[in-house]
Structure 1
């Protein structure tokens, strides 16, 4: 795991490598989080819905949203925290965001270990600007409410 915390931000930028099937249990953050997988596939689940993101998409989770993650395949996960008062994306609900080639390279470069704080701040500023221009992808699966469907889904998860 690598962690960068540019001066002036309260949240860390991290890079994690995960084995297939690894999970991160239910949790929440006091900051908004962008989760990107440069390799592998990421599934994010909240109480309301589930989303899937691959290298062409990232997952946006607003501050204080309970969520959990699961990776499929060997995965490299990059996480970015954004201050609650400086969100580059809407903060009302989690969503999948399109990642164009420039944003992909910025997300990967910004989570490299050992970045000098001035470089990390500049990369984060450009990531912030690019996210404002990104497209939201409506790839949401509602969480089942009927007990029979909940049971069926748990058998295949």
Structure 2
């Protein structure tokens, strides 16, 4: 298995490797000179960028443009494949996004990840690498991201909820954590995230439910684990936010593989 620390990532325009991350792993804020495409085969990553937080479930990938500072958290063990791509190859993808991954793109990611550092740019390997990049551009985004505030005081609140989305402190307590008055906090949070605190926390709870559902836990168990009072309330909110019931959201990539 190749790892980034051992691999000459700049030797070719597109280079890749596979990696395993333990439960509880925290990769603090950092950036890369190349664009990054990370595909999860097992487990769930949480990727925090200055303006958004992304949940990366299995069988999906995240595109992170070159130079974008990001932090990675893994609450459970994660297996992934990462490609580093010369930003000159694709200047159209300027924003981070989680994308659906077709059978073809998955196969191409695995194939490119096995290339040697000196693969032939003008031969079969080079053609596969170029096809991969072309196919990635076609993949639709999936809604597993949330806006992050830029104000450091508000970020304290959001990071606390990322750590524990079930934290049920009331509005006054959150405002106190941000060292703001209640009214100022409410206005500032909505201005910077486009949502009220209750809505933001609800969305974070839903995102936290995804790895639990992926692990095979029942909808009822997950609903209570992430702070909902009933499975029906959880399912209704999940469907409203993601456009699919929890079971359908988790099953969709598997069904696509079987078509």
TM over 0.5, shorter chain: yes
Structure 2 spans left out of the alignment, 5+ residues: 166-259
SS in 1 for 2:44: strand
Contact 2:62/2:96, CA 8 A, preserved across alignment: yes
Which of 18, 29, 32 matches 1:29? 32
Computed over aligned residues only, the root mean square deviation of the Cα atoms, in angstroms, reads 2.8
1:4–1:120 contact (8 Å) kept in structure 2: no
Structure with more helix by fraction:
2
The answer to whether residue 58 in structure 2 is matched with residue 50 in structure 1 is no
The answer to whether the Cα contact below 8 Å between 1:88 and 1:132 also exists between their aligned partners in 2 is no
SS in 2 for 1:34: strand
> Residues 73 and 101 of structure 1: is their aligned pair in 2 closer, same or farther, counting only changes over 3 Å?
farther
Partner in structure 2 of residue 109 of structure 1: 111
Give the distance between the partners of 2:159 and 2:130, measured in 1 at CA. Answer: 44
**Pair 1:120–1:52, CA change in 2 (3 A):** farther
User: Could you give the per-residue CA deviations for residues 61-85 of structure 1, whole angstroms, max 9, x where no partner exists?
Assistant: 1111100112243221211112121
Report the CA distance between 1:153 and its aligned residue: 1.4
2:115 and 2:12 map into 1 onto residues whose CA distance is 18
Task: State the partner residue of 1:123.
Answer: 128
User: How many Å separate the matches in 1 of 2:159 and 2:45?
Assistant: 22
> How far 1:114 sits from its partner (Å)?
4.9
Structure 1 residues 68 and 120 mapped into 2: Cα distance closer, same or farther (>3 Å)? farther
- Alpha-carbon spacing, 1:27–1:4, altered in 2? closer, same or farther (3 Å): same
TM-score (norm 1): 0.81
State the match for 1:17 in structure 2: 20
Q: Matched residues in 1 for 2:159 and 2:48: separation?
A: 16
Task: Note the C-alpha offset of 1:120.
Answer: 4.1
Matched residue, 1:82? 85
Q: 1:155 to 1:45 in 2, by over 3 A?
A: closer
More strand by share: 1
The count of residues paired between Structure 1 and Structure 2 equals 155
Question: Does the residue aligned with 2:87 lie in a helix, a strand or coil?
Answer: coil
Whole-angstrom CA distance in 1 between matches of 2:160 and 2:27: 22
TM-score (normalizing by structure 2): 0.52
- SS at 2:50 equivalent: coil
Q: Which has the larger radius of gyration?
A: 2
Compare relative contact order (CA 8 Å, sep 6+) and give the higher one, 1 or 2: 1
> Where does structure 1 lack aligned partners over 5 or more consecutive residues?
none
> Hey, what's the Cα distance between the residues in 2 that align with 1:30 and 1:130?
22
2:12–2:117 CA contact under 8 A, matched in 1: no
